[in-house]
Chain A
Amino acid sequence: MSFRIFTIRLVAIVTLVIATVAPSSAVEIEQVKSPGGIEAWLIRDRMVPLVSMHFAFRGGAATDPAGKTGRAEMTAQLLTEGAGDLDSQKFAAMLEDRAISLGFDAGHDSIQGFVKTLNEHRDTAFDLLRLALTQPRFDTEAVERVRAQTLAAIARDAENPETLARRTWWATAFPDHPYGRPVRGTVETVTSLQPNDFRDFVRNRFARDNLIIGVVGDITPDELGPLLDRAFGDLPARSAPIDVPEARFMGDGRTTVVNRTVPQSVMVFGNDGIKRNHPDWFAASIVNYILGGGGFNSRLMTEVREKRGLTYGIYTSLVALDHAGLVLGSSPTANARVAQTLDLIRAEWRRMKEQGPTAEELADAKNYLTGSFKLQLSSSMSIASMLVAIQYDDLGIDYIDRRDALINAVTIDDVRRVAGQLLDPARMLTVIVGDPAGLAPDESGAGGPATSPATPAQGG
């Protein structure tokens, strides 16, 4: 999320929310339906006189046509750069003078938005949201400024070892699918995008039938209903169909090196995984927690950081998209120690595949994944985001109550079976950006100096 308000960004960095787990009903979710038929989930919280709303429209950057990569993200940035009668500066002043935060962020599968406002300004906040959704201006000055900002960000991404490694990994994993293209776009596509492209995106995606809303704050259902109509009531009933195919993962055990003169290499590695609706989701979550998702308690962190001091951090996560699932990890390490670190990563990948977790590791993982769920109830916006995530994945309004039981039902046989299926060094893709030493010749791979990866072989 590219929140613009400073405090929120700091929270995002510092509080390290590992989302996913449920307490016994610490919270009561109310389903609200507005007079105009807009539905939202609400958790009332009177602690601070404010309202936080998070919402999502299905269909994101993956709906950008191939020559218009970056369209969703640039649209997201431009929605708050002038709408209705308000030009960019007037719109910003309306927000800033009331300390309203309002913004949008595009992902592969959806475009998400948020509003946070003090109660005294909530009518204005929801009016501004309606303007942004239904009457964005796309003035030339704003478009050219955001274009310049985006091009600058693309240039920075291209030289940031971690971003470059991730981009190269995704491009290699999904060469023929929108997931292989950067959400932010390329220099060529961003240079060519025009206001009509942004208008197309707004017209196709912003509709009432693909909208998901979560609200937290000091507001009653009766007060929220009219506000929902105020913000979303003018949207068309139906969105355009989403025509994104299933993504075929092209992993075949290969390692690609992108040479850069930096003191430390960044490695990104992973193989295909499962989607959120898979019945083995929690077993896979437990396997990931033990392998590399559990921070200081994971096997990879123990072997690579704590025992050998090879890195400051190594992490894996399950990436669940609408059309693909992944187990994806990353770690930086000094150039001279890349080969040793890679060997350790592969050995742990294999050990987990072949032997699975121990009973003690399983118990620890269950304790963390169940016990830590309530930690995400730390701010109104983090709770609102949770409400959107539960609806997005269609987990049901009783999900929070059911979640502990779902996790505790996972058996040692389940995690061993799932580890065997989920992890596979032969399907793994590895990308290294830096100046790594000591790699076997067949691992120096496709990348010469400053190249992007060669077209991958068929596989996976």
Chain B
Amino acid sequence: MAHRSRLTIAWLAALLAVLVDPIGIRSAPAQVFNPESFTLSNGMQVVLIANHRAPIVTHMVWYKVGAADEPPMKSGIAHFLEHLMFRGTKDVAPGDFSKIVARLGGRDNAFTSYDYTAYFQVIARDRLEDVMRLEADRMANLALTDAVVDPERDVVREERRQVVENRPHARLREQMQALLYLNHPYGRPVIGWDHEIANLTRADALAWYGTWYTPSNAILIVAGDITAEELRPLAEKYYGRLKGGQVPPRLRPQEPPPQAARRVELKDARVRHPTLTRLWLAPSYTAGEREHAYALQVLSELLGGAATSRLYRTLVIDKQLATSAGTWYEPDMLDLSSFGLSANLRPDADMRALEAAIDAEIERLLKEGIEAEEVERAKKRMRAAAAYARDELSTGARVIGTALATGQTIADVEAWPERIAAVTPAQVIAAARHVLRPERSVTGLLLPEPSS
């Protein structure tokens, strides 16, 4: 298994979109976590998700800042700082953070998204205090030199080559994202544009760190074999005594009403089978027409969430135009999100026929509506899948961290099954009619370069 570190969520999302039938991952679970939460005196929120299966814990610190908070010309600084957080403090030498964690029998990593940046360790419960000491230390005492910053910048540029430039589908997604957002920084890649990464400095990183990395802007989440009585004194001891400054408001340029469908083609000699991807600008839990956020999850499930969903049945099985077809929707974005659809052309099929069939399927949905039974089946699948959420140690920590960093509450997460259960066929159709409109869309074609 690849042990690729310092992940970007953008990369993960691209990977997932390509590798699997999208089922709306981070929206799935709820009401099973039963978390406890309290706030330290300096404003840092703490969440505990008890799980006593094995004597291990996941320890995560989330910062409510991500790539969409970056100033102009500094794209990639959120992710670059995430790398640099492993490159030393006053007391811990560059690179020693992960070495110490490994010596304790633990694993560590971090990830950056548009709306948040998070750091985590998985470790034996009796070593929790050690990683809390380390994580609190780098929240306050990061110490960077050019000698570590310069090679790390090269590492990030190699990461960009690996996860974007060497992958035609990732290059296309980057172009589509830039077209979907006319004004909002979601149009920039999380990892940054290469020419701007190349100019990021130690001073940029420290300015970012100084502005955003403070206890009142952080969330501590611990999942695993521990109780609140055990956790609270440790949290106070290591995080509670850090000084808590205030962070500036997250002011981001917002989207104007979209006016026209957009289209982009990327041709690459390495592409053998064309792919069609379409994104529609969509509301999220906290932005735009928020009342559609739950119905859009049901829509994604019944349209393209599984092998018995409409798109797979029509495009892959009945018409035999595609080898795969699916949809996805992420409701937990701070600003306007997107609803996505993707289909891989079957080797002997025609791209125009595939696109016409997709258009016809959407048209049919909008015109003829949806059977109540179809909605019930989709909702049942979603709620059943949610029952699995507590089976994996880190799932609850990831779901709750994402929610809290994007303007949701723990109560929202816990209410997810009820809110999905309450979605009606009329709401699903209303959400589809709101979102699946040509002027909200970007269509991207990944095509083979005509060979010589």
Contacts and interface: CB of A to CB of B under 8 A. Distances in A.
A14 B264 CA distance: 31
B161 A332 contact: yes
A158 interface: yes
> Which residue, A11, A16, A151, has most C-beta atoms of chain B within 10 A?
A16
A89 B54 contact: no
A15 B4 contact: no
A379 B158 CA distance: 33
Contacts of A295: 3, 5, 98, 102, 107
A409 interface: no
Contact of A377 (B22, B56, B165, B394): B56
B395 A11 contact: yes
Contact of A297 (B51, B98, B123, B377): B98
Interface residues of B, number: 88
Interface string A125-163: 000000000000000010011001101100110111100
B53 A16 contact: no
B320 A262 contact: no
B388 A50 contact: yes
Contacts of B103: 364, 367-368
Given A97-B377, A263-B165, A378-B122, A310 B154 contact: yes
Given A47-B53, A152-B323, A311 B105 contact: no
B52 A47 contact: yes
B202 interface: no
A62 B11 CA distance: 34
A270 interface: no
Contacts of B52: 47
A7 B385 contact: yes
A312 B346 CA distance: 34
> Which residue, A261, A295, A333, has most C-beta atoms of chain B within 10 A?
A295
Given A374-B54, A375-B122, A364 B102 contact: yes
Interface stretch (B12-20, B133-141, B333-341, B428-436): B12-20
A93 B308 contact: yes
A453 interface: no
A77 to B, nearest CB: 12
A160 B270 CA distance: 8
Interface string A298-311: 00001001111111
Contact of B56 (A49, A364, A378): A378
> Which residue, A48, A364, A381, has most C-beta atoms of chain B within 10 A?
A48
B56 A375 contact: yes
Contacts of B346: 148, 152
Interface string B417-449: 000000000000000000000000000000000
B1 A10 contact: no
Given A5-B385, A99-B384, A99-B385, A263 B153 contact: no
Nearest to B316: A145
Contacts of B163: 312
A373 B269 CA distance: 44
A377 B2 CA distance: 19
A380 to B, nearest CB: 5
B394 to A, nearest CB: 6
Nearest to A335: B161
A152 B275 CA distance: 11
Given A263-B161, A310-B154, A296 B384 contact: no
B344 A159 contact: no
B273 interface: yes
B21 A6 contact: yes
Contacts of B29: 7
A320 B109 CA distance: 27
B362 interface: no
B104 interface: yes
Contacts of A159: 270-272
Interface in A196-239: none
Interface string A1-20: 00011110111111111100
Contacts of A266: 166
> Which residue, B124, B152, B324, has most C-beta atoms of chain A within 10 A?
B124
A97 B53 CA distance: 28
A371 interface: yes
Given A364-B99, A375-B122, A378-B394, A98 B384 contact: yes
B71 interface: no
B95 interface: yes
Interface in B10-43: 12, 15-16, 19-25, 28-29
B253 interface: no
Chain A contact-residue range equals: 35 or more
Contact of A309 (B150, B388, B389): B150
Contacts of B270: 159, 260, 262
Contact of A12 (B1, B22, B317, B381): B1
A371 B104 contact: yes
Contacts of B347: 148, 151-152, 155
B385 A50 contact: no
A445 interface: no
B388 A96 contact: no
Nearest to B169: A156
A334 interface: yes
Interface in B81-105: 86, 94-95, 98-99, 102-105
B381 to A, nearest CB: 5
A379 B392 contact: yes
Given A26-B54, A50-B387, A312-B4, A368 B102 contact: yes
Interface string A27-41: 100000000000000
B381 A97 contact: yes
A9 B380 CA distance: 21
Contact of B273 (A6, A92, A156, A264): A156
A99 B107 contact: no
> Which residue, A13, A45, A307, A377, has most C-beta atoms of chain B within 10 A?
A13
B95 A296 contact: yes
A333 B390 contact: no
Nearest to A6: B23
Nearest to B155: A309
B122 A92 contact: no
Nearest to A19: B1
Contact of A375 (B95, B107, B381, B388): B107
Nearest to A24: B55
B15 A45 contact: no
8 contacts: A6-B24, A16-B3, A18-B1, A152-B347, A261-B269, A264-B166, A295-B3, A380-B391
Interface of B: 1-5, 7, 12, 15-16, 19-25, 28-29, 51-56, 86, 94-95, 98-99, 102-107, 109, 122-124, 127, 150-156, 158-159, 161-163, 165-167, 269-273, 306-308, 313, 316-317, 320, 323-324, 344, 346-348, 377, 380-381, 384-385, 387-395, 398
Chain A to chain B: the 5 pairs with minimum beta-carbon distance, closest first: A371-B105, A309-B154, A99-B384, A309-B151, A155-B272
Given A88-B307, A118-B387, A159-B270, 12 more contacts: A11-B392, A18-B107, A48-B387, A50-B388, A148-B346, A155-B272, A159-B271, A309-B152, A309-B154, A374-B105, A377-B56, A378-B122
